[in-house]
Amino acid sequence: MRSEININEIEANKQKEIMERLRIRITDKSKELGRPLTYCSVCFGCQMNAKDSEKLEGILETIGYVRSESEDADFLIMNTCTVRENANLRVYGRLGQLKKYKKKNPDMIIALCGCMMQESLVVEKIKQSYRHVDIIFGTHNVFKLAELIENKLNSKGMIIDIWEGTTEIVEDLPSERKYDFKCGVNIMFGCNNFCTYCIVPYVRGRERSRKPEDIIAEIKNLVADGVVEVMLLGQNVNSYGKNLDNPISFAQLLEQVEAVEGLQRIRFMTSHPKDLSDELIAVMAKSKKICKHLHLPMQSGSTKVLADMNRRYTKEDYLALVDKIKTAIPDISLTTDIIVGFPTETEEDFNETLDVVRRVRFDSAFTFIYSKRTGTPAATMEFASTEEQIKERFDCLLKEVQDIAKETCSKDQGQVLEVLVEGVDEQDASLLTGRLSNNILVHFPGDESLIGTFQNVKLNEAKGFYYLGERVE
């Protein structure tokens, strides 16, 4: 193991040296132009991708690029998602638009990375039809961005560097945080579950956990830097630590995170129901810092469909787990993901899904129409229903989850609860937006200086998915 640590340290140092060289080159270029060089970072997909984008932005800022929200920048990086077909289509649409910027500014560099780039068919298509792209890399070598930029500046062609997988976790590179007071922290990468509909294990590789000491050190640094809330990130946090040299459970990791002084709130994503342990429920129930929110993707309520999805739990297992959680943590807010129209789903199976939704009464549910991902086992399954039937089911489910969520989310009306103030309300600048422990938002009058602080707020009016409130001293 020692040699692996050294390889990672050597790699991090190499990247830092390249960043220094690039910084000089970029400073020279901006002197020549009489203006700073800008970068624009676009991110699709989940929190894992958002976290990767923060790392990419950290590297870009370190080498001297200045952030811009406009795609008309000197360096544009698009971090892509391929979980559903429409995520891909959005990227191709945007890419077409970029051609005109590159015509105006031939020195512009366009880089593509993320999950979509791990698919060879995608890379082939870009090589053929989108020649204006300069750099393509994947999910395993985000830490190499500086090296890829340097390669690009030294050569004319398209730079392509996609890794099939990796065992490396390169620590200690810069990261540009989106918020001062809260931050995502990777605890593991990849996924071993191979749900039959899902592309993630193919594009993110096998499960790798970071060492607890690295995670805790990162969180302590973040806290010293003003962070009060962390979101621990992994595709399946409940299997954290199993493949470490010194195995440790996710619940044990949470206890270590809880002990970090100055840290006030802990969130995590995502929990797979099959691995959610009694130990975790017990740790959550007694914790002062873990938020009262659990995202527990159910995908389907039909035991048959769940088996076809390779989820490895039944409808009854899921309901029993929810009961256990609600008994141990009565004020928990439960949210979920549901797929409608999985190939083998019939009307009867869908009714099982509705049944679970009605029994659990989720605070919110992300609902998706099944999207075929080439290369996954479900892609070759025959459809038991027509597109029209699936669309009808989707509309019906959406209405049901929204009606229930409106009621469930209103249950704390009239109470005074603590929020972490996250920013100014996007719709009304006289209001602030705060987040309750259970993840629901509250809008209330207040001054910008409160951003990043905890405030007690009276929840005056439930508006369905959020509250209007007022601050109480």
CB of 337 to ligand F3S, least distance (A): 11
Contact between 230 and ligand F3S per CB under 6 A: no
Q: Quick check: 191 binds ligand SF4 (CB under 6 A)? A: yes
> On the CB side of 14, how many CA atoms lie within 13 Å of its CA?
13
**What are the start-end ranges of the E strands in 12-131?**
38-43, 66-67, 75-80, 109-114
Helix (H, G, I), strand (E, B) or coil at 431: strand
Chain centroid to Cα 139, Å, comes to 13
CB of 309 to ligand SF4, least distance (A): 8
Distance of closest approach, residue 376 Cβ to ligand SAH, in angstroms? 7
Q: Which of 63, 77, 83, 404 is in the footprint of ligand F3S by CB under 6 A?
A: 83
Instruction: Return the range that interacts with ligand SF4 (CB under 6 A); candidates 105-113, 179-187, 190-198, 409-417.
Output: 190-198
- Is residue 367 within 8 A of residue 340, CB to CB? The reply is yes
Tell the smallest beta-carbon distance from residue 374 to ligand SAH (Å): 10
Q: Does 299 bind ligand SAH (CB under 6 A)?
A: yes
The tally of CA atoms less than 13 A away on the side-chain side of residue 393 is 26
Q: How many CB atoms are located within 10 Å of the residue 199 CB?
A: 23
Report the DSSP beta bridge partners of residue 266: 230, 290
* C-alpha–C-alpha distance, residues 36 and 57, integer Å: 16
Is 195 a residue that touches ligand SF4 (CB under 6 A)? yes
Q: Which residue has the tokens 């922290």?
A: 185
Closest residue to ligand F3S, judged by C-beta, is: 45
Instruction: Mark residues 33-62: x for contact with ligand F3S by CB under 6 A, - for none.
Output: ------------xx-xx-------------
How far, in Å, CA of 376 to CA of 213, rounded? 35
With CB under 6 A as the rule, give the number of residues binding ligand SAH.
17
Cis status, amide bond into 367, omega within 30 of 0: no
CA dihedral 115→116→119→124, nearest 10 degrees, is -150
Which of 18-26, 140-148, 197-205, 328-336 is the region at the interface with ligand F3S (rule: CB under 6 A)? Answer: 197-205
Q: Which of 198, 227, 305, 322 binds ligand SF4 (CB under 6 A)?
A: 198
Among 55, 144, 182, 204, binds ligand F3S (CB under 6 A): 204
Give CA–CA dist 96/247, Å, rounded.
47
Number of residues that bind ligand F3S (CB under 6 A): 11
Q: List contacts with ligand SF4 (CB under 6 A).
A: 191, 193-195, 198, 200-201, 235-236, 272
Q: List contacts with ligand F3S (CB under 6 A).
A: 45-46, 48-49, 81-83, 115, 200, 203-204
